Structure 1
Amino acid sequence: MSELPSYVSGVFLATVATTFGFLYYGIKLAQKNKTSNHAVVVSTFLMTWLFIIALLALYDFFLVFDAMPPRLIFVLSPPIITILAVLSIKRSRNFVLRIPITTLTYLHIVRVPIEIVLWWLAGSQLLPYLLTFEGINYDILSGITAPFVAIFMVGLRSKSRIGAILWNLITLGLLINIVSHAILAAPTPFQVFGMDQPNVAVFYFPFIWLPSFVVPAVLFSHLVSLIKLLDKDSDLI
Protein backbone atom coordinates (compact mmCIF):
# COMPACT_ATOMS: atom_id res chain seq x y z
CA MET A 1 0.00 0.00 0.00
CA SER A 2 2.97 2.31 0.54
CA GLU A 3 3.59 2.35 -3.23
CA LEU A 4 0.04 3.49 -3.96
CA PRO A 5 -0.06 7.04 -5.40
CA SER A 6 -1.18 9.52 -2.74
CA TYR A 7 -3.92 10.95 -4.98
CA VAL A 8 -5.81 7.62 -4.79
CA SER A 9 -6.19 7.87 -1.02
CA GLY A 10 -6.83 11.60 -1.35
CA VAL A 11 -9.73 11.18 -3.76
CA PHE A 12 -11.15 8.37 -1.66
CA LEU A 13 -10.98 10.38 1.57
CA ALA A 14 -12.62 13.34 -0.16
CA THR A 15 -15.40 11.00 -1.30
CA VAL A 16 -15.89 9.69 2.23
CA ALA A 17 -16.10 13.28 3.51
CA THR A 18 -18.63 14.13 0.79
CA THR A 19 -20.76 11.11 1.70
CA PHE A 20 -20.63 12.17 5.35
CA GLY A 21 -21.61 15.69 4.33
CA PHE A 22 -24.66 14.53 2.40
CA LEU A 23 -25.88 12.48 5.37
CA TYR A 24 -25.28 15.32 7.81
CA TYR A 25 -27.08 17.81 5.55
CA GLY A 26 -30.02 15.44 5.09
CA ILE A 27 -30.38 14.90 8.82
CA LYS A 28 -30.21 18.64 9.45
CA LEU A 29 -33.07 19.15 6.99
CA ALA A 30 -35.07 16.39 8.66
CA GLN A 31 -34.99 18.19 12.00
CA LYS A 32 -38.27 19.94 12.73
CA ASN A 33 -36.74 21.93 15.53
CA LYS A 34 -33.67 24.00 14.64
CA THR A 35 -32.34 23.51 18.17
CA SER A 36 -32.51 19.72 17.83
CA ASN A 37 -29.23 17.87 18.18
CA HIS A 38 -30.04 14.86 15.97
CA ALA A 39 -27.36 15.78 13.45
CA VAL A 40 -24.73 16.08 16.17
CA VAL A 41 -25.70 12.76 17.74
CA VAL A 42 -25.69 10.90 14.42
CA SER A 43 -22.42 12.54 13.36
CA THR A 44 -20.79 11.57 16.64
CA PHE A 45 -22.00 8.00 16.23
CA LEU A 46 -20.69 7.80 12.66
CA MET A 47 -17.33 9.34 13.52
CA THR A 48 -16.93 6.90 16.40
CA TRP A 49 -17.67 4.01 14.06
CA LEU A 50 -15.21 5.32 11.46
CA PHE A 51 -12.54 5.73 14.12
CA ILE A 52 -12.97 2.18 15.47
CA ILE A 53 -12.85 0.64 11.99
CA ALA A 54 -9.80 2.73 11.05
CA LEU A 55 -7.99 1.74 14.23
CA LEU A 56 -8.67 -1.96 13.67
CA ALA A 57 -7.47 -1.67 10.06
CA LEU A 58 -4.28 0.14 11.09
CA TYR A 59 -3.54 -2.70 13.52
CA ASP A 60 -4.08 -5.26 10.72
CA PHE A 61 -7.11 -6.82 12.41
CA PHE A 62 -8.78 -7.50 9.06
CA LEU A 63 -5.70 -9.06 7.43
CA VAL A 64 -6.25 -12.46 9.06
CA PHE A 65 -7.85 -13.82 5.93
CA ASP A 66 -8.25 -17.42 7.13
CA ALA A 67 -10.20 -16.43 10.25
CA MET A 68 -13.61 -17.99 10.81
CA PRO A 69 -15.96 -16.29 10.59
CA PRO A 70 -14.27 -14.00 8.05
CA ARG A 71 -13.46 -10.72 9.75
CA LEU A 72 -15.17 -8.82 6.97
CA ILE A 73 -18.39 -9.70 8.80
CA PHE A 74 -17.39 -7.25 11.55
CA VAL A 75 -17.28 -4.52 8.91
CA LEU A 76 -20.55 -5.27 7.13
CA SER A 77 -22.86 -6.51 9.86
CA PRO A 78 -23.02 -3.50 12.26
CA PRO A 79 -24.05 -0.95 9.58
CA ILE A 80 -26.66 -3.28 8.08
CA ILE A 81 -28.10 -4.12 11.49
CA THR A 82 -28.17 -0.42 12.37
CA ILE A 83 -29.98 0.49 9.14
CA LEU A 84 -32.57 -2.25 9.66
CA ALA A 85 -33.07 -1.16 13.26
CA VAL A 86 -33.51 2.49 12.28
CA LEU A 87 -36.08 1.56 9.65
CA SER A 88 -37.89 -0.85 12.00
CA ILE A 89 -38.30 1.47 14.98
CA LYS A 90 -41.24 3.79 14.33
CA ARG A 91 -39.71 6.92 15.85
CA SER A 92 -36.40 6.71 14.01
CA ARG A 93 -38.11 5.56 10.81
CA ASN A 94 -40.41 8.60 10.84
CA PHE A 95 -37.40 10.84 11.36
CA VAL A 96 -35.26 9.49 8.50
CA LEU A 97 -38.27 9.58 6.19
CA ARG A 98 -38.21 13.36 6.58
CA ILE A 99 -34.81 13.47 4.86
CA PRO A 100 -35.47 15.06 1.42
CA ILE A 101 -35.37 12.48 -1.33
CA THR A 102 -33.43 14.92 -3.50
CA THR A 103 -30.58 14.88 -0.96
CA LEU A 104 -30.69 11.09 -0.80
CA THR A 105 -30.53 10.94 -4.59
CA TYR A 106 -27.69 13.42 -4.98
CA LEU A 107 -25.67 11.33 -2.49
CA HIS A 108 -25.27 8.68 -5.18
CA ILE A 109 -22.95 11.01 -7.09
CA VAL A 110 -20.17 9.69 -4.84
CA ARG A 111 -20.35 6.42 -6.74
CA VAL A 112 -18.49 8.02 -9.66
CA PRO A 113 -15.22 8.80 -7.80
CA ILE A 114 -15.51 5.48 -5.96
CA GLU A 115 -15.48 3.62 -9.25
CA ILE A 116 -12.47 5.61 -10.42
CA VAL A 117 -10.66 4.77 -7.17
CA LEU A 118 -11.47 1.08 -7.66
CA TRP A 119 -9.99 1.26 -11.15
CA TRP A 120 -6.81 2.85 -9.77
CA LEU A 121 -6.61 0.16 -7.08
CA ALA A 122 -6.96 -2.55 -9.72
CA GLY A 123 -4.10 -0.91 -11.64
CA SER A 124 -2.00 -1.20 -8.47
CA GLN A 125 -2.92 -4.90 -8.20
CA LEU A 126 -4.94 -4.47 -5.01
CA LEU A 127 -8.16 -5.84 -6.44
CA PRO A 128 -9.20 -7.62 -9.67
CA TYR A 129 -10.29 -5.64 -12.73
CA LEU A 130 -13.45 -7.75 -12.50
CA LEU A 131 -14.60 -5.32 -9.79
CA THR A 132 -14.16 -2.23 -11.99
CA PHE A 133 -16.09 -0.77 -14.92
CA GLU A 134 -13.74 -2.82 -17.13
CA GLY A 135 -15.27 -5.93 -15.60
CA ILE A 136 -18.77 -6.56 -14.25
CA ASN A 137 -19.09 -3.34 -12.24
CA TYR A 138 -21.47 -0.88 -13.91
CA ASP A 139 -22.15 1.05 -10.72
CA ILE A 140 -20.55 4.19 -12.17
CA LEU A 141 -23.76 4.60 -14.19
CA SER A 142 -25.64 5.06 -10.92
CA GLY A 143 -23.51 8.06 -10.02
CA ILE A 144 -23.64 9.56 -13.50
CA THR A 145 -27.43 9.38 -13.70
CA ALA A 146 -28.11 10.47 -10.10
CA PRO A 147 -28.18 14.26 -10.81
CA PHE A 148 -30.66 13.75 -13.66
CA VAL A 149 -32.93 11.66 -11.44
CA ALA A 150 -32.67 14.27 -8.66
CA ILE A 151 -33.64 17.07 -11.06
CA PHE A 152 -36.18 15.45 -13.37
CA MET A 153 -37.76 12.66 -11.28
CA VAL A 154 -37.79 13.85 -7.67
CA GLY A 155 -37.03 17.55 -8.06
CA LEU A 156 -39.20 20.44 -6.93
CA ARG A 157 -40.70 21.11 -10.37
CA SER A 158 -40.54 17.73 -12.04
CA LYS A 159 -41.61 14.43 -10.52
CA SER A 160 -41.84 10.88 -11.85
CA ARG A 161 -42.54 8.46 -9.02
CA ILE A 162 -42.48 5.37 -11.26
CA GLY A 163 -39.27 6.47 -12.95
CA ALA A 164 -37.60 7.13 -9.60
CA ILE A 165 -38.69 3.73 -8.26
CA LEU A 166 -37.30 1.96 -11.32
CA TRP A 167 -34.03 3.89 -11.09
CA ASN A 168 -33.63 3.04 -7.41
CA LEU A 169 -34.36 -0.64 -8.01
CA ILE A 170 -31.95 -0.88 -10.95
CA THR A 171 -29.13 0.98 -9.22
CA LEU A 172 -29.73 -0.97 -6.00
CA GLY A 173 -29.29 -4.09 -8.12
CA LEU A 174 -25.99 -2.70 -9.42
CA LEU A 175 -24.87 -2.09 -5.84
CA ILE A 176 -25.78 -5.63 -4.77
CA ASN A 177 -23.98 -6.98 -7.84
CA ILE A 178 -20.65 -5.33 -7.09
CA VAL A 179 -20.81 -5.87 -3.33
CA SER A 180 -21.52 -9.60 -3.71
CA HIS A 181 -18.69 -10.00 -6.23
CA ALA A 182 -16.35 -7.96 -4.01
CA ILE A 183 -17.08 -10.23 -1.05
CA LEU A 184 -16.55 -13.37 -3.13
CA ALA A 185 -13.30 -11.93 -4.52
CA ALA A 186 -11.88 -11.32 -1.04
CA PRO A 187 -9.17 -13.74 0.17
CA THR A 188 -11.37 -15.65 2.59
CA PRO A 189 -12.27 -19.37 2.74
CA PHE A 190 -15.31 -18.48 0.60
CA GLN A 191 -13.39 -16.83 -2.26
CA VAL A 192 -14.76 -17.61 -5.73
CA PHE A 193 -13.44 -14.78 -7.94
CA GLY A 194 -10.10 -13.03 -8.38
CA MET A 195 -7.90 -15.99 -7.54
CA ASP A 196 -4.93 -14.42 -9.37
CA GLN A 197 -5.53 -11.02 -7.77
CA PRO A 198 -7.83 -11.06 -4.73
CA ASN A 199 -9.72 -8.06 -3.44
CA VAL A 200 -7.37 -6.95 -0.65
CA ALA A 201 -7.63 -3.15 -0.91
CA VAL A 202 -10.74 -2.86 1.26
CA PHE A 203 -8.97 -4.49 4.20
CA TYR A 204 -6.54 -1.59 4.52
CA PHE A 205 -7.01 1.96 5.78
CA PRO A 206 -8.55 4.16 4.42
CA PHE A 207 -10.30 1.87 1.94
CA ILE A 208 -11.84 -0.13 4.77
CA TRP A 209 -14.29 2.78 4.94
CA LEU A 210 -15.77 1.71 1.61
CA PRO A 211 -17.59 -1.39 2.92
CA SER A 212 -18.01 0.00 6.44
CA PHE A 213 -19.42 3.44 5.56
CA VAL A 214 -19.82 4.45 1.91
CA VAL A 215 -21.64 1.30 0.80
CA PRO A 216 -24.00 1.34 3.82
CA ALA A 217 -24.69 5.04 3.20
CA VAL A 218 -25.64 4.29 -0.40
CA LEU A 219 -27.79 1.34 0.70
CA PHE A 220 -29.48 3.52 3.33
CA SER A 221 -30.25 6.17 0.71
CA HIS A 222 -31.83 3.59 -1.59
CA LEU A 223 -33.98 2.01 1.12
CA VAL A 224 -35.26 5.32 2.53
CA SER A 225 -35.94 6.62 -0.99
CA LEU A 226 -37.88 3.49 -1.95
CA ILE A 227 -39.97 3.64 1.23
CA LYS A 228 -40.83 7.27 0.46
CA LEU A 229 -41.54 6.55 -3.21
CA LEU A 230 -43.77 3.56 -2.47
CA ASP A 231 -45.81 5.64 -0.04
CA LYS A 232 -48.20 7.57 -2.27
CA ASP A 233 -48.87 10.05 0.53
CA SER A 234 -45.19 10.91 0.84
CA ASP A 235 -44.06 14.33 -0.35
CA LEU A 236 -41.25 13.90 -2.88
CA ILE A 237 -38.91 16.73 -1.97
Structure 2
Amino acid sequence: MQPDLRYLSVPIPGWLSVSFAGLVVLLIIGIYYTIRPVAEKQTPFILLGCLLWLSLLFGLAQNAFFLKTQAVPPRFLAAVLPPFLFITGTFLSRKGRKFIDGLSMRRLTWVHTVRIGVELLLFQLFAVGQIPQAMTFEGRNWDILAGLTAPLMAMMVFGPKKWSPRVLLWWNIAALGLLINIVATAVLSAPLPFQQLGFEQPNVGVLKPAFIWLPGFVVPIVLFSHLAAIRRL
Protein backbone atom coordinates (compact mmCIF):
# COMPACT_ATOMS: atom_id res chain seq x y z
CA MET A 1 0.00 0.00 0.00
CA GLN A 2 1.38 3.38 -1.02
CA PRO A 3 1.13 6.29 1.45
CA ASP A 4 -0.84 9.39 0.51
CA LEU A 5 1.85 12.05 0.25
CA ARG A 6 -0.30 15.01 -0.74
CA TYR A 7 0.81 16.90 2.41
CA LEU A 8 4.51 16.08 2.09
CA SER A 9 5.37 19.41 0.46
CA VAL A 10 2.62 21.42 2.20
CA PRO A 11 4.13 23.77 4.83
CA ILE A 12 2.96 23.54 8.42
CA PRO A 13 0.87 26.62 9.40
CA GLY A 14 3.11 29.29 10.84
CA TRP A 15 1.23 29.61 14.12
CA LEU A 16 1.73 25.90 14.78
CA SER A 17 5.46 26.05 14.14
CA VAL A 18 5.82 29.18 16.30
CA SER A 19 3.82 27.54 19.10
CA PHE A 20 6.06 24.49 19.05
CA ALA A 21 9.16 26.68 18.98
CA GLY A 22 7.83 28.46 22.07
CA LEU A 23 7.41 25.11 23.78
CA VAL A 24 11.01 24.23 22.99
CA VAL A 25 12.15 27.56 24.44
CA LEU A 26 10.35 26.73 27.69
CA LEU A 27 12.02 23.32 27.69
CA ILE A 28 15.45 24.93 27.28
CA ILE A 29 14.71 27.20 30.24
CA GLY A 30 13.81 24.10 32.24
CA ILE A 31 17.04 22.43 31.16
CA TYR A 32 19.00 25.48 32.30
CA TYR A 33 17.56 25.41 35.82
CA THR A 34 17.99 21.63 36.01
CA ILE A 35 21.66 21.42 35.05
CA ARG A 36 22.94 24.72 36.47
CA PRO A 37 23.21 23.51 40.12
CA VAL A 38 25.20 20.44 38.98
CA ALA A 39 27.47 21.92 36.32
CA GLU A 40 27.42 25.69 36.63
CA LYS A 41 30.57 26.28 34.58
CA GLN A 42 29.54 23.85 31.84
CA THR A 43 25.93 25.05 31.60
CA PRO A 44 26.58 27.82 29.02
CA PHE A 45 28.45 25.37 26.77
CA ILE A 46 25.69 22.76 27.10
CA LEU A 47 23.04 25.33 26.20
CA LEU A 48 25.15 26.58 23.29
CA GLY A 49 25.43 22.99 22.06
CA CYS A 50 21.65 22.63 22.28
CA LEU A 51 21.09 25.83 20.31
CA LEU A 52 23.59 24.82 17.63
CA TRP A 53 21.93 21.42 17.30
CA LEU A 54 18.47 22.98 17.06
CA SER A 55 19.75 25.41 14.43
CA LEU A 56 21.27 22.60 12.39
CA LEU A 57 18.07 20.56 12.50
CA PHE A 58 16.00 23.59 11.54
CA GLY A 59 18.29 24.45 8.64
CA LEU A 60 18.23 20.91 7.26
CA ALA A 61 14.45 20.70 7.59
CA GLN A 62 14.01 24.14 6.02
CA ASN A 63 15.90 22.86 2.99
CA ALA A 64 13.70 19.73 2.77
CA PHE A 65 16.59 17.44 3.73
CA PHE A 66 14.35 15.06 5.68
CA LEU A 67 11.60 15.04 3.05
CA LYS A 68 13.66 12.80 0.75
CA THR A 69 11.89 9.78 2.22
CA GLN A 70 13.29 7.24 -0.24
CA ALA A 71 16.91 7.99 0.63
CA VAL A 72 19.02 5.07 1.89
CA PRO A 73 19.84 5.09 4.72
CA PRO A 74 16.81 7.14 5.87
CA ARG A 75 17.81 10.76 6.42
CA PHE A 76 15.59 10.80 9.49
CA LEU A 77 18.40 8.96 11.29
CA ALA A 78 20.51 12.11 11.11
CA ALA A 79 18.06 13.75 13.51
CA VAL A 80 17.78 10.96 16.06
CA LEU A 81 21.12 9.13 16.15
CA PRO A 82 23.34 11.96 17.49
CA PRO A 83 21.13 12.60 20.58
CA PHE A 84 20.88 8.86 21.20
CA LEU A 85 24.66 8.48 21.02
CA PHE A 86 25.10 11.47 23.32
CA ILE A 87 22.75 9.96 25.90
CA THR A 88 24.52 6.60 25.65
CA GLY A 89 27.92 8.23 26.10
CA THR A 90 26.71 10.19 29.14
CA PHE A 91 25.53 7.03 30.88
CA LEU A 92 28.68 5.09 30.00
CA SER A 93 31.20 7.68 31.17
CA ARG A 94 32.15 8.18 34.82
CA LYS A 95 31.78 11.97 34.60
CA GLY A 96 28.44 11.52 32.87
CA ARG A 97 27.10 9.29 35.63
CA LYS A 98 28.36 11.72 38.27
CA PHE A 99 26.51 14.51 36.45
CA ILE A 100 23.33 12.43 36.29
CA ASP A 101 23.48 11.55 39.98
CA GLY A 102 23.66 15.22 40.89
CA LEU A 103 20.50 16.26 39.05
CA SER A 104 17.41 17.23 41.02
CA MET A 105 14.83 14.46 40.94
CA ARG A 106 12.05 17.00 41.42
CA ARG A 107 13.14 18.97 38.35
CA LEU A 108 13.62 15.79 36.30
CA THR A 109 9.97 15.04 37.07
CA TRP A 110 8.70 18.51 36.23
CA VAL A 111 10.39 18.30 32.80
CA HIS A 112 7.67 15.89 31.68
CA THR A 113 4.95 18.56 31.84
CA VAL A 114 6.22 19.59 28.38
CA ARG A 115 4.36 16.53 27.08
CA ILE A 116 1.01 18.25 27.66
CA GLY A 117 1.86 20.99 25.17
CA VAL A 118 3.41 18.52 22.77
CA GLU A 119 0.29 16.37 22.65
CA LEU A 120 -2.04 19.35 22.20
CA LEU A 121 0.08 20.58 19.28
CA LEU A 122 0.25 17.08 17.78
CA PHE A 123 -3.53 17.05 17.70
CA GLN A 124 -3.50 20.33 15.77
CA LEU A 125 -0.87 18.85 13.46
CA PHE A 126 -3.26 15.98 12.77
CA ALA A 127 -6.08 18.46 12.08
CA VAL A 128 -4.04 20.05 9.27
CA GLY A 129 -3.17 16.70 7.68
CA GLN A 130 0.47 16.42 8.78
CA ILE A 131 0.30 13.32 11.01
CA PRO A 132 -2.12 10.39 11.36
CA GLN A 133 -4.79 10.21 14.06
CA ALA A 134 -2.90 7.29 15.61
CA MET A 135 -0.27 9.77 16.82
CA THR A 136 -2.81 11.77 18.86
CA PHE A 137 -4.71 11.12 22.08
CA GLU A 138 -7.72 10.27 19.91
CA GLY A 139 -5.71 7.41 18.44
CA ARG A 140 -3.11 5.23 20.14
CA ASN A 141 -1.04 7.94 21.82
CA TRP A 142 -1.67 8.30 25.56
CA ASP A 143 1.55 10.16 26.30
CA ILE A 144 -0.42 13.16 27.56
CA LEU A 145 -1.17 11.13 30.70
CA ALA A 146 2.52 11.33 31.63
CA GLY A 147 2.46 15.11 31.29
CA LEU A 148 -0.73 15.50 33.29
CA THR A 149 0.48 13.30 36.15
CA ALA A 150 4.03 14.70 36.32
CA PRO A 151 3.02 17.64 38.59
CA LEU A 152 1.20 15.22 40.90
CA MET A 153 4.30 13.06 41.19
CA ALA A 154 6.53 16.09 41.82
CA MET A 155 4.25 17.48 44.52
CA MET A 156 3.39 14.23 46.29
CA VAL A 157 6.81 12.55 46.24
CA PHE A 158 8.78 15.68 47.16
CA GLY A 159 6.05 17.52 49.09
CA PRO A 160 5.03 17.33 52.76
CA LYS A 161 3.21 13.99 52.40
CA LYS A 162 6.31 12.32 50.91
CA TRP A 163 5.01 9.44 48.83
CA SER A 164 7.44 6.54 48.57
CA PRO A 165 10.16 6.96 45.91
CA ARG A 166 9.02 3.54 44.65
CA VAL A 167 5.85 5.23 43.39
CA LEU A 168 8.00 7.61 41.35
CA LEU A 169 10.05 4.70 40.02
CA TRP A 170 6.98 2.87 38.73
CA TRP A 171 5.58 6.11 37.33
CA ASN A 172 8.81 6.67 35.38
CA ILE A 173 8.70 3.12 34.04
CA ALA A 174 5.06 3.48 32.96
CA ALA A 175 5.64 6.92 31.42
CA LEU A 176 8.69 5.58 29.59
CA GLY A 177 6.42 2.88 28.14
CA LEU A 178 4.05 5.61 26.91
CA LEU A 179 6.99 7.39 25.28
CA ILE A 180 8.18 4.21 23.56
CA ASN A 181 4.64 3.61 22.32
CA ILE A 182 4.30 6.98 20.59
CA VAL A 183 7.85 6.87 19.20
CA ALA A 184 7.14 3.46 17.65
CA THR A 185 3.82 4.72 16.27
CA ALA A 186 5.49 7.82 14.80
CA VAL A 187 8.28 5.82 13.15
CA LEU A 188 5.91 3.22 11.70
CA SER A 189 3.65 6.01 10.40
CA ALA A 190 6.42 7.89 8.59
CA PRO A 191 6.63 7.47 4.78
CA LEU A 192 9.77 5.37 5.01
CA PRO A 193 10.47 1.96 3.45
CA PHE A 194 9.29 0.18 6.63
CA GLN A 195 6.01 2.11 7.06
CA GLN A 196 3.22 0.03 8.62
CA LEU A 197 0.66 2.61 9.83
CA GLY A 198 -1.06 5.80 8.70
CA PHE A 199 -0.96 5.25 4.95
CA GLU A 200 -4.03 7.46 4.44
CA GLN A 201 -2.38 10.35 6.34
CA PRO A 202 1.31 9.63 6.96
CA ASN A 203 3.56 11.22 9.55
CA VAL A 204 5.21 13.94 7.48
CA GLY A 205 4.90 16.81 9.98
CA VAL A 206 7.89 15.81 12.12
CA LEU A 207 10.12 15.97 9.05
CA LYS A 208 9.55 19.72 8.76
CA PRO A 209 10.53 22.83 10.73
CA ALA A 210 10.01 23.33 13.60
CA PHE A 211 8.57 19.91 14.43
CA ILE A 212 11.81 18.17 13.48
CA TRP A 213 12.82 19.30 16.98
CA LEU A 214 10.37 16.78 18.41
CA PRO A 215 12.32 13.62 17.47
CA GLY A 216 15.67 15.42 17.40
CA PHE A 217 15.51 17.23 20.72
CA VAL A 218 12.32 17.00 22.81
CA VAL A 219 12.00 13.21 22.77
CA PRO A 220 15.70 12.71 23.67
CA ILE A 221 15.36 15.13 26.61
CA VAL A 222 12.28 13.30 27.88
CA LEU A 223 14.01 9.95 27.39
CA PHE A 224 17.11 11.15 29.23
CA SER A 225 14.98 12.43 32.12
CA HIS A 226 13.31 9.03 32.50
CA LEU A 227 16.55 7.05 32.29
CA ALA A 228 18.30 9.37 34.74
CA ALA A 229 15.43 9.09 37.22
CA ILE A 230 15.23 5.30 36.90
CA ARG A 231 18.97 5.04 37.46
CA ARG A 232 18.71 7.18 40.60
CA LEU A 233 15.71 5.31 41.96
1:166 alignment counterpart: 170
Matches of 1:6 and 1:41, distance apart in 2: 30
Question: What's the CA shift string for 1:132-183, capped at 9, x where partnerless?
Answer: 0000000000000000001112447624211001100000000000001100
2:27 counterpart of 1:19:
yes
Tell me whether 1:58 sits opposite 2:62 in the alignment: yes
Q: Is the 8 A contact 1:27 1:96 kept in 2?
A: no
Tell me the distance in 1 between the aligned counterparts of 2:171 and 2:130.
Answer: 31
Distance in 1 (CA, whole Å) between partners of 2:81 and 2:208 is: 18
Q: What's the counterpart of residue 87 of structure 2?
A: 83
In structure 2, the residue matched to 1:201 is 205
Structure 2: distance between partners of 1:111 and 1:14:
13
Once superposed, what is the RMSD of the aligned Cα atoms? 1.4
Structure 1 228/162 Cα, relative in aligned 2: closer, same or farther at 3 Å? same
Match of 1:232 in 2: none
Asked which structure has the greater RCO (Cα within 8 Å, sep 6+), the reply is 2
Number of matched residues? 225
Aligned 8 A contact 1:154 1:164 in 2 = no
CA gap 1:161/1:23 in 2 versus in 1, 3 angstroms: same
Cα separation, 2, equivalents of 1:83 and 1:156: 33
| Paired position in structure 1 for 2:3 | none
Question: Which of 213, 216, 223 does residue 219 from structure 1 map onto?
Answer: 223
1:44 aligns with 2:44: no
Corresponding position of 1:114? 118
- Normalised by the length of structure 2, the TM-score is 0.93
Please say if residues 12 and 130 of structure 2, whose CA atoms lie closer than 8 Å, have aligned partners that are also in contact. Answer: no
1:69 to 49, 56, 73: 73
2:138 pairs with 1:134: yes
| Contact 2:109–2:150 (CA under 8 A) maintained in structure 1 | yes
Post-superposition shift, 1:94? 0.3
Which residue pairs with 1:234 in the alignment? Answer: none
